Amino acid sequence: MIKEIKAKSILVSSKLPDTDYVINPYTGCAFGCSYCYASFMGRFVGKKIDDWGNYVFVKANLVEVLEKQLEKIKDKTKTIFLSSVTDPYQGIENKYKLTRKALELLVKYKWKGKIGILTKSNLVLRDIDLFKKLKKVEVGLTITSTDDKVSRFLERSAPPVSLRLKALKKLNEEGIKTYAFVGPLLPHFSANPKGLKKIFDALEKTEVKELYLEHLNLSSYIQGRLLKRLKGEKNEVIRKFYEARKGEYKKELNEVIRKLLANYNFKVRRGEVLEHGKNS
């Protein structure tokens, strides 16, 4: 379901530790990732947790509202993040181009602060021309595996990871500052030495220099959706997801990561593997 709505605000004060404002051009996300924490957004638009991935509300008045907000802000050095509870380059962006329009306004108003972007889509390459016009921009791609079948399993409608890796490499070739978001660490693939090495090797080839790493968020509302998706899978796979809730599991995985990273020149942002409820 796609529905156009009018938003009261576009540039919203952020509760995230690394940014001042967030811009979410859409409410909902058609990528429908089974582990997505943002599925809680459904309660604001009359949708259930299990509806995540089946609706997108398009903030049709984004340009009008955002321009008014940008005109009022005197300090153009504040940081902005696209997006915290949706993917700014999901498929509907091809039609509405709200992310691009937001970036065009930031160019128009000569925004000097850092603009961060995180996506699972190679559509981000479309806007390289705008990235080059902004003073400080960085683009992150979420990489949870190196296997398109694995990524498609839990990231239902997102572009395959192979395209994301190619996008990351292209951005680096174009001189755009990048990072990779390796998270969540999937217990059945990436949360082991072999799977992690495959990811780190693939990222090294893209020439990305900095990473975020994050444990799987197994809050009750996420766990419910995730286990429904895992229904019918091998007991071994399901068991690994249950184990991922334990502190000892995370401690051991952190040590595996620490040892592996000694073989690479990546910088881990915030200096550790992020964990929901712990990092702020």
Q: Tokens 């915030």, residue? A: 270
Strands (E), 112-226: 114-119, 136-142, 177-182, 210-213
Give whole-number Cα distances, 75 to 8, 110, 131, 157, in Å.
21, 11, 20, 38
Residue spans per domain, the chain: 2-271
pLDDT given for residue 71 in this prediction: 96
pLDDT given for residue 140 in this prediction: 98
Mean pLDDT by 10 residues, the chain (280 residues): 96 91 97 91 85 94 98 95 96 98 98 97 98 97 93 90 98 98 88 91 98 93 87 84 88 94 96 78
CB contact at 8 A, 178 and 212: no
Neighbours of 49 (CB within 10 A): 15
- The token pair at 208 is 């990305």
Strands 21-23 and 11-13: antiparallel
Strands 210-213 and 177-182: parallel
- pTM tops 0.85, yes or no: yes
pLDDT given for residue 277 in this prediction: 66
Second CATH level (architecture) for the domain 2-271: Alpha-Beta Horseshoe (3.80)
